[in-house]
Amino acid sequence: MKLLNLLPILIGLLAFSSAKAQTTGKPHVYVADSVFTFGDIPQGKAVTKTVSIKNTGESPLLLHHVLTTCGCTALDWPQSPILPGKNASMKITFDSAGKSGRQNKVVRIVSNADNGSYIIRFTANIVPAKNKE
């Protein structure tokens, strides 16, 4: 009877250890500043932020593609593998030319990581440029 009471616990432990084994050994993407704002930007100005991409997994992280939601955002991203426990920098440049008001943008990292594609979000508020007199 006691063995029958322990059966659900044993099945749960077996399922947990099996799920953990499936993710062991893979890379994992982490970006501390995955949501940020550029604040108020004069129209026509380009601003840049450098974010750190960390591989918290157990094998090399390969960034296959890094995509943006529009041509107003340019990226300089690492082409080399990011080793386990290491960081690499990525520059995100937003050009406010032709934009006005609040802007919400997305950068998507597509890689071999176990956590799938990784999303970085940023906002900016485009204000009219001041005229020089």
Query: DSSP characters for the chain?
Result: -HHHHHHHHHHHHHHHHHHHHHHTT---EEETTSEEEEEEEETT-EEEEEEEEEE-SSS-B-EEEEEESSTTEEEE---SPBPTT-EEEEEEEEE-TT--EEEEEEEEEEES-TT-SEEEEEEEEEEPPPPP-
pLDDT tens track for 73-94: 999 999 999 999 999 999 999 9
Structural domain including 110 reads: 27-127
Is 11 part of a structural domain of the chain? no
Our count of domains for the chain comes to: 1
Is 64 part of a structural domain of the chain? yes
pLDDT tens track for 84-125: 999 999 999 999 999 999 999 999 999 999 998 999 999 999
Is 15 part of a structural domain of the chain? no
Q: CATH number of the domain that 51 lies in? A: 2.60.40.10
Is 133 part of a structural domain of the chain? no
Query: pTM score, two decimals?
Result: 0.79
Is 12 part of a structural domain of the chain? no
Is 70 part of a structural domain of the chain? yes
